[in-house]
Amino acid sequence: MFEVVAFWWKTRSGGITAKAPGLIVALLLWLGSQAAGAAPNWTLDPTASVLTYQSVKKNTIVETNKIRNIAGTLSSAGDAKVTFDLNSVDTGVDLRNVRMRFLFFETFKYPTAELTAKVDPAAFADLATKRRVKATLPFRLNLHGVDKDLEASIVVTMISDNMVSVASEAPVAVHVEDFGLLPNVDKLQQAANVTNIVPTASVSFDFVFTADGSKPAATQTAAASSAEVGPVATDAAKANFSDEECLNRFAVLSRTGAIYFRPASARLDTQSRPLLAEVVGVVSKCPGLKVEVSGHTDSDGSPVENKRLSERRAQAVADAIVAAGIPRTQITATGYGEERPVAANDTPKNKALNRRIEFSASKLVN
């Protein structure tokens, strides 16, 4: 969980990459004017670029993870944009990856983060002679639907006439609360049964840009020498999940709390659509499993009425999944009312945790 949080923070600092692009843009402008009298556009080489983040859990345990799928451009006008695929979070463990995606980043609603920057090429006019230039550049990071203006200290290095590296000089601190993610830190802690996830993370990056029309030379960079650098296949590219992957996803989707109903009603709110679409995608890639949709309530009101309400809500979710194309034989609905609380029904927050929809799976019997 801590890893997840840190990861999330790092992604934010990925905004730093945007700065990097800015630096590169300046470089691009300079290189273009020197080589052909016209500044070229530049493209990030994903096979040679790296974004890592460090998370801290239990106040002292530090873990390093990555966001693997990165894309970026630098225009001749100095406009830089770098996009991060948050579904490519790489912690080294599938369950942790899924927790980070669904619980922290909520990729079913916010699948990407984006960094943008505007750079003055004049700031790097002497790059050709110095070969390395340090700078502090501002950038804007869009993450979890929030825009935040940040800045980072970077080092821009001319690797060759058509290749530039933009790297962090020091790790960048990113604060979770700036992007409205503190509640999601709580979800991570509960899912991993841990405490003391530090709500700040350190992000480091090394982005390599190549001039458009030139051949990427990833082998020239140290970053590209690692098998852990570069794009990675995400769930969208998989035909089916293994049983373990299916179970991991159902367990985490059950903790999102992103299926909503009107008070005392089994009518699904439109805000539920993003998560339901994610659930349908997972179920469709687990054809050998039967999925139970279970409804749960808090203890307010009559136990009998709570049981009925939970049954109706579970059935509403199951019907929505079937309506999206999943075979009825693969989905069942059960209501447990207030029988299986996950927290004491003593505060509004705990009661909200008990009002939930969960997903579990078992082998289909032919």
Q: What CATH number should be reported for the domain holding residue 85?
A: 2.40.128.110
Helix (H, G, I), strand (E, B) or coil at 39: coil
Do 175 and 279 lie in one domain? The reply is no
Give the DSSP per-residue string, 293-347. Answer: EEEE--SSS-HHHHHHHHHHHHHHHHHHHHHTT--GGGEEEEE-TTSS-SS-TTS
Q: What is the CA radius of gyration of the chain?
A: 23
Q: Regarding predicted confidence, which is higher, 75 or 23?
A: 75
Looking at the predicted structure, is the pLDDT value of residue 191 above 90? Answer: yes
Summarize pLDDT for 258-296 with one digit per residue, the tens: 999 988 899 999 999 999 999 999 999 999 999 999 999
Contact 331, 364 (CB under 8 A): no
Number of structural domains in the chain = 2
pTM exceeds 0.75, yes or no: yes
Q: Return the SS3 of 8.
A: helix
Asked if the model's pLDDT at residue 253 lies above 50, the reply is yes
Helix (H), strand (E) at residue 31: helix 15-35
Kindly state the average pLDDT of the residues 213-231. Answer: 60
Give the pLDDT score at 216.
58
Q: What is the mean pLDDT of the chain?
A: 86
Q: Which of 236, 254, 276 is the last residue in one of the domains?
A: 236
Residues 196 and 80 in one domain: yes
pLDDT tens, residue by residue, 18-27: 334 444 444 4
**What does the pLDDT read at residue 227?**
61
Domain that holds residue 351: 238-363
Same domain, 120 and 139: yes
Q: Are residues 128 and 253 in the same domain?
A: no
Say whether both 194 and 210 belong to one domain. Answer: yes
- Is 276 found in the same domain as 131? no
Q: Given this model, what pLDDT does residue 226 score?
A: 52
Q: What is the CATH number of the domain that holds 337?
A: 3.30.1330.60
Same domain, 144 and 216: yes
Strand order, beta sheet including 289-296:
331-335, 289-296, 356-363
Residue ending a domain, choose from 236, 269, 300: 236
In this structure, are 177 and 249 located in the same domain? no
Q: Which amino acid is at 164?
A: V
* Residue, of 148 and 61, whose pLDDT is higher: 148
Residue 53 pLDDT exceeds 80? yes
Answer whether 266's CB lies under 8 Å from 205's CB.
no
Q: Residues 262, 181: one domain?
A: no
Are both 67 and 165 inside the same structural domain?
A: yes
160 and 280 belong to one structural domain = no
- Are 313 and 165 members of one domain? no
State which of 174, 203, 236 marks the end of a domain.
Answer: 236
